[in-house]
Amino acid sequence: MAPAATPWLARAALPLLLRLPPEAAHGLGLRGIKLLSRGWTAPVATAAMAVKAFGLHFAHPVGLAAGFDKNGDYLDALGALGFSFIEIGTVTPRAQSGNPRPRLYRLRGAQALINRMGFNNRGADYVAARLSGAKYRGVRGISIGKNADTPLERAVDDYLACLRALYAVADYFAINVSSPNTQGLRTLQSSDALAGIIEPLQEERERLSARHGKRVPLLVKISPDLEEGELQAMAASLRSHALDGAIATNTSTHIAGFEAELGHAQGGGISGRPLRDKALASLHTLRDALGAEFPIIGVGGLMSSHDVQARLDAGACLVQLYTGFVYRGPALLGECLQRLH
């Protein structure tokens, strides 16, 4: 297939995918990307667009958020589109099916998604095997979480198990304590609970660093539903525990005007355009509290290159696409890189 044909096919397929049930469309879209990826001509990043953050080199600031490729099955295909980094997961130690279907809802008029997926994935060992065979040369992040049936008081065991199983194939880890779709998980964002996760992970990282000859950064993914004081407390925890970075933000369970839709989804989290201002406000608060040098990845409601530029201007060193990519496809990435030239 000629490279020039591939973007046209992707643009033509997108309206058809958006007519299918969301989860079915997601799976079909991933298979389509894999089929077309060999003929794809990715946007070219210039040297001036490169970013260095938490000790890693990124060809440009735009990556793909966790949740799009939960198991690393499509890493090479998604990488061929031109993302400088891709975050796999969220991964749990043991495979789990996630919440019952339907669990993904499209709000097309609002350019939003509501998901209550529940960390459906094939488990850490499967993901490690997939990533060890992947050829993608960009930065590989892995979001890690706990299994739904693991008690909260033992959550750290699951994070440690993921760290050990995936350390060799990860460039950074995102500690997911902010998903609204695993019962009680967000309570792990409190200072004491977070310390109980971070400190053992850092100790284990020291042992794994010596064994593997590399130090893999640890980042924390944060909820947009934290109040300003809670965000400041989170920032103090990130500083005091010497975390390598933060990801702001996850999905929201509290956005005015969408109470009925969130109720229909039985407790899911909303992403896309309605999240944009809330995620941006969280970024501003964290940047003010953390200072200019602390690395923050901005995510949530990035539907255009203007949104991406606003997040970078607000202090994000990197950004991640998700819902914007669902609605606009690879054209959004190309638009962002064109703006950054």
Residues with active-site annotation: 179
Q: For residue 322, which of 32, 17, 37, 66 has the smallest C-alpha distance?
A: 66
Ordered DSSP codes for 220-268: EEE-TTS-HHHHHHHHHHHHHTT-SEEEE---BS--TT-HHHHHHTTS-
**CA-CA distance, 292 to 30, in Å (whole number)?**
37
- SS3 state at 90: strand
Reply yes or no: is the peptide bond before residue 90 cis, omega within 30 of 0. Answer: yes
Pairs from 100-104 (Cβ < 8 Å, separation ≥ 24) = 101/23, 102/21, 102/23, 103/23, 103/265, 103/268, 104/22, 104/23, 104/26
**CA-CA distance, 337 to 326, in Å (whole number)?**
17
- The residues near 232 (Cβ < 8 Å, ≥ 6 apart) are 285, 289
**CA-CA distance, 310 to 71, in Å (whole number)?**
31
- Both tokens of 177, joined, read 């304590």
**CA-CA distance, 341 to 339, in Å (whole number)?**
6
Pairs from 199-204 (Cβ < 8 Å, separation ≥ 24) = 199/241, 200/156, 200/159, 200/160, 201/156, 201/159, 201/160, 201/163, 201/173, 201/175, 202/241, 202/242, 204/160, 204/163, 204/164
- The residues near 266 (Cβ < 8 Å, ≥ 6 apart) are 116
